[in-house]
Structure 1
Amino acid sequence: MIGKLTGTLSLKNPPDVLVDCHGVGYEVSVPMSTFYNLPALGEPVTLLTHFVVREDAQLLYGFATAPEREAFRQLIRISGVGPRTALSVLSGMSVGELAQAITAQEAGRLVKVPGIGKKTAERLLLELKGKLGADLGAPVSLASDAHADIQQALVALGYSDKEAALALKPLPADVGVSEGIKLALKALAK
């Protein structure tokens, strides 16, 4: 229902902020990653939002980036993970770190987040595998734009994201796109 707010930042009280939109103040809960990047009070701000309606409340959650909001939405779909827990996860690690933990199936990284126990971490890894990690995990580990182009080329040739990412690991960080594609294809042919 409410997808984005643009207004003046009126109040900062972690994890909540107040955004004044032409005289109407919206209370928005944000992860700490968004909170730390907010402008000063009185400055203009834009937040992507997720609106939650419960029996006893209507809550608004805000995010600086679309990947943060998408990760939040994926997290709250999991049984036993509510909006507050999802905010805690996104406050404790970046979307890229979360995607890497999911791709590598590292429950230990998730357990370090306050409010996440071993069973919840394992459930997150199981239910988000292939959803969040596949979309966001591989680009985070890329050393350069050339590596991103090489990976896209390999995927276009029919290789999976995982195969492409594995082929990129031995490549030098400063490799060119055409040379990188040749080297990656040689590695995949073995």
Structure 2
Amino acid sequence: MIAKLKGIVDSTGEDWVILDVNGVGYLVFCSGRTLARLPGAGGAASLVIVTHVREDHIHLYGFLNAAERDWFGLLQTVQGIGARVALGILSVLAPDELAQAIAAQDKTAVARANGVGRKLAERVVNELKDKVGALAVASGLTLPQAATADSGGNREVADAVSALTNLGYRPADAFAAVARAAKDMDAGAGLQALIKAGLKELAP
């Protein structure tokens, strides 16, 4: 089982890269975000690899870090999401953005990916909302409790996110702003203080 490849970029396509490792070319499927961050042909690259072995093929999927790899696996636990759709989601949302979107129940953000309709996006945010915390830690993202109203934690945080969303901000952006603000405030910070601090975070 291949878990990591380090070599020279030979060529790239829409969703793949050929990585030359000591003269052997490995075809590796990647998200658009990963491909965009790879060097051009002739440049050195290192990828974390997930190997899919089937009766009719062996496919390699490559990631720049373990966080993206872990989200790739978690996304496929949702019914209707295979490897290609998971890569499509990771092409439009980085691991921290995906964690924020799920915690904020932002179906619209997930639905931006190719092959993901509104129903499938809703399934993603609903089925993964209880698992987002662990992978958020892997992504280096600090999530406040009660990012959504039904999480049973700090109600003020959930209400602050809702208030900013009602002002026209995207749920994921509102969540991220409140997350940053709450991290620097006392646990008992009131709703108005959280909203005010969140607006400051969102200011250009």
Q: How does 1:29-44 map to 2 (within 5 A)?
A: 29-44=29-44
Contact kept, 8 Å, 1:4 with 1:49, in 2: the verdict is yes
Size of the aligned set, in residue pairs, is 166
Per the TM alignment, residue 187 of structure 1 is displaced from its structure 2 partner at its CA by 2.8
Amino acid at match of 1:14: E
Which of 183, 186, 189 is matched with 1:184 structurally?
186
- Give 1:64-143 correspondences, 5 Å limit: 64-133=64-133, 135-136=135-136, 140=141
Check the 8 A contact 2:7/2:46 in 1, yes or no.
yes
Query: Is the partner of 1:80 in helix, strand or coil?
Result: coil
Q: Report the Cα distance in structure 1 between the residues aligned to 2:29 and 2:77, rounded to whole angstroms.
A: 18
Query: Shift of residue 141 of structure 1?
Result: 6.9
What's the secondary structure of 1:72's corresponding residue?
Answer: helix
Q: TM (normalized to structure 2)?
A: 0.70
- Asked whether the 8 Å contact 2:49–2:63 carries over to 1, the reply is yes
How far is 1:90 from its partner? 0.4
Gaps of 5+ in 1: 143-150, 155-159
125-134 or 68-77, which deviates more: 125-134
The Cα shift of 1:170 comes to 9.2
CA shift for structure 1 position 117: 0.9
What do residues 26-78 of structure 1 show as CA deviations (whole Å, max 9, x unaligned)?
Answer: 10011011111101211211000111112221100001111111110101122
Alpha carbons of structure 1 residues 185 and 90: separation in structure 2 relative to 1, 3 Å? closer
State the AA in 1 paired with 2:16: D
- Aligned partner of 1:87: which letter? L
Q: CA deviation at 1:125?
A: 1.1
Q: Aligned partners of 1:87 and 1:172: how far apart in 2?
A: 31
Query: Runs in 1 of length 4+ with deviation above 2 angstroms?
Result: 132-135, 137-142, 165-173, 185-188
SS in 1 for 2:62: strand
Tell me if structure 2 keeps the 8 A contact 1:9–1:42. yes
CA distance in 1, matches of 2:188, 2:106: 30
> Do 2:142 and 2:179's aligned partners in 1 also have CA atoms closer than 8 Å?
no
